[in-house]
Every structure is written in C-alpha cells, then in structure tokens.
Chains A and B, each alone.
Chain A
C-alpha cells in the first residue's frame, strides 16, 4: 500500500512537472533556507569527537588502537582518505568502502571478529554505535576535499560496473530499482527532492552530503545505513552489512560524484 503511494507520488510529480515546479519554487527556496539554518551547527560533530577518541583508544583482544589503520593513503592517514574511497586494497585483495575497511582494520589490528562487528553496526536511541562514530570522525577529515575515487584498478572498474547494474536492477514486490526514483530530474516525493544520481550534478550533491546526522532520529547515519534505507523503501530484503553488492553500489555512486567537494558530515531532516 505504502509502496503504491510512493509510486504514484513519483509519477504525479513527474507528470505535472511544469506545474509542480512553478508552485513548488518558493517552497523549495524555504526548505533550502531551513537546511541552511540547520547547517550552522551540526550535532554530527559530537559523533566525530567520539570517533576521534575511539580511533586512538586501545581496544579489542589485541588491545590496539586504529592509529595504524590504512584507509588507502598509508597507515594512519585519515585526512582526505574518505574522499578517495571505495578503493582497491592489496592486503585484502578487494575493493572496500569505509565501513568494510574499518572492519578489516578492527579485525587485523584489534583482533575483533568480522561477523560480530557486522551484527549491530547501526546505532539506536539506546545503543551507541562505535562504527558510526568512527565513520563520523573519518568522513569529517575529508570535509572540503575533492572527491577522487580511484578507477584504474580492474577490481575498481568491476565494482563500478556491478554497482551500476545494481542501480538499474528492478526487483522486489513493486518491481523497483534505485533508478525508479533517482534517474529523473526535478522530481520529488512530497517536499523531498529526488536527486538524479545518473547525472554528475545530482550525484555529486547527494553523495557529498552523506554520511549525515539525521535530526528525526537524533543519530548519525553511515552510508551503509543510507543504502539499507533505500533498499527498505524499495521493499528489498535488507542487504548484508558491507557486502560486495553494497560496496559496489557505493563505488558507482562515489565515482559518479568525482570532482565535487566533499561536504559531509551532512545534516538531514
């Protein structure tokens, strides 16, 4: 039922694009003002502080910190690393996004168990997620840097292509794909603009504002969480955390955003 409403909302905003546009213009400007005002102080900073402390704290069976973790720019280099992820890592011989890479480091350096780490990666009102705090810290260290996701390695190329396929792949009870909502311009669901993720402009704007603090949940949300929420709304089963497919989809979206300035962590309604 809800899915149908979603479809019809999308169709309506498409079909009446001209009208919705003239009518929605001032509303859009006001929403823009709302977002701008929220930008002047982002509670994501609280999570960044937590993550920064966690990064340097000796933890796990090996009682080690993450300060030797290689996020792609060398052991311990956090500055700018997120703007160049996902990327191929020789030691794991695969393309990893930030969350997968953090787990790899937590396993290798700290001795944690990957399956355990994947069980509860997202925070709730009563559960503080270490992963989301670490993500907040790392992405904050790429603020203001140009997106430069590497594409030269064959596995990076393969991840991009797989991600693109997933983006356009229609499935689920409502025969939805990511592209159903995110491959058209000037469309929206109620007051929310739907970015066209197949265009550089749309993709850059959307990708560089995630991960983000979500005001409706009072929580910081990682990119894997954001993808899960899209799949949920498409009525897909929840993907495995930091799986090959979610990393590939992230590779596609991140590469499409190349050239833009990373603005995160964002703040969202």
Chain B
C-alpha cells in the first residue's frame, strides 16, 4: 500500500490531459489466500471535476488493475483550474486527490 493518490493535469494546446494514479488493491473476490477467498474490494465510481464541473463519471468493475491508472482528456480548461478526482469503493471507502492545471 502506498500513498492514496496522485493526480496530474497538463494543458497542451487546448486539451488538458488528466492522469490519476490511485492506491487501491482492486481485489476481484476470486483470489484465494491460503484456501480463504479474499473478499472483493474495488473502486466502483471514480469522478473527475475540473473548475467545479463534473467532466467524467466512471463506473468500474473488478477487472480494473490494482493501483489503477486512468488517463482522461478535457477541452476548455485553463492553467490554474483545479482538477479533482474522487472515488468510492464497494466497501464505502473513499478518497480524492487534486492537481492544478499546469502548462504541459
């Protein structure tokens, strides 16, 4: 387990590339540890807000890899805008991280 999250937002031309790296086990509920099933534990919803507006809503399944990495693209953001990425998992745990849009 590492730090909860890293978010990056880089503006090139008129497109901002948003990268989110989340520390999460993304357990499928199908793996076993010493004969015991490891319960499913995975992010179900991950959202991206830029400048206070929702730009992406993701619904996710157990097939997303552990310590997941997401890349999104947004038009119309400006340098200095705040990009916020938030998530909630199937156990109700949540987390969020943010970055200020920077010139890439």
A interface residues (Cβ-Cβ under 8 A, vs B): 40-43, 45-47, 49-50, 53, 125, 128, 133, 213, 215, 218, 220
Residues of the B chain whose Cβ atoms lie less than 8 Å from the Cβ of A133: 2
16 contacts between A and B (CB under 8 A): A40-B71, A41-B19, A41-B21, A43-B21, A46-B2, A46-B3, A46-B6, A46-B67, A49-B2, A50-B2, A53-B3, A213-B67, A215-B65, A218-B25, A218-B67, A220-B2
Q: Is B2 a contact partner of A43 (Cβ separation < 8 A)? A: yes
Residues of chain B contacted by A213 (CB below 8 angstroms): 67
CB distance from B18 to the nearest CB of A (A): 11
Q: Is B47 an interface residue (CB 8 A)?
A: no
Query: Nearest B residue to A43 by beta-carbon distance?
Result: B67
Which one of A40, A42, A46, A128 has the greatest number of beta carbons of chain B within 10 Å?
Answer: A46
Query: From residue A219, how far is it (CB to closest CB) to chain B in Å?
Result: 9
- Residue B28 is within 8 A (CB to CB) of chain A in the complex: no
Are the CB atoms of B19 and A40 closer together than 8 Å? yes
Q: Which residues of A contact B65 (CB under 8 A)?
A: 215
The one of B1, B21, B70, B71 that contacts A45, using a Cβ cutoff of 8 Å: B21
User: 15 extra interchain contacts, Cβ-Cβ under 8 A, other than A41-B70, A53-B3, A128-B1?
Assistant: A40-B71, A41-B69, A42-B69, A43-B21, A45-B6, A46-B2, A46-B4, A46-B5, A46-B67, A47-B3, A49-B2, A50-B3, A133-B2, A218-B25, A218-B67
How far apart sit A46 and B1, CA to CA, in the bound complex (Å)?
A: 9
Chain A residues near B66: list those with CB within 8 A: 218
For residue B67, which residues in chain A have a CB less than 8 angstroms away from its CB? 43, 46, 213, 218
A46 in contact with B25 (CB, 8 Å):
no
Bound complex: CA of A78 vs CA of B3, how far in Å?
Answer: 20
1/0 per residue, CB under 8 A from A, across B1-31: the answer is 1111110000000000001010101000000
Q: Interface readout for B69-102 with A: 1 if CB under 8 Å, 0 if not?
A: 1110000000000000000000000000000000
Distance of A213 Cα from B68 Cα, bound (Å): 13
CA distance A46 to B5 in the complex (A): 7
Most B CB within 10 A of own CB, among A42, A43, A47: A43
User: Which residue from chain B places its CB closest to the CB of A125 in the assembled complex?
Assistant: B25
Pick from A41, A42, A46, A125: contact of B23, CB under 8 Å: A46
Chain A residue numbers with a CB within 8 Å of B1 are 128
Q: How far is the CA of A261 from the CA of B1 in the complex (A)?
A: 29
- CA gap between A133 and B69 in the complex, in Å: 19
Contact partners of B5 in chain A: CB under 8 A: 46
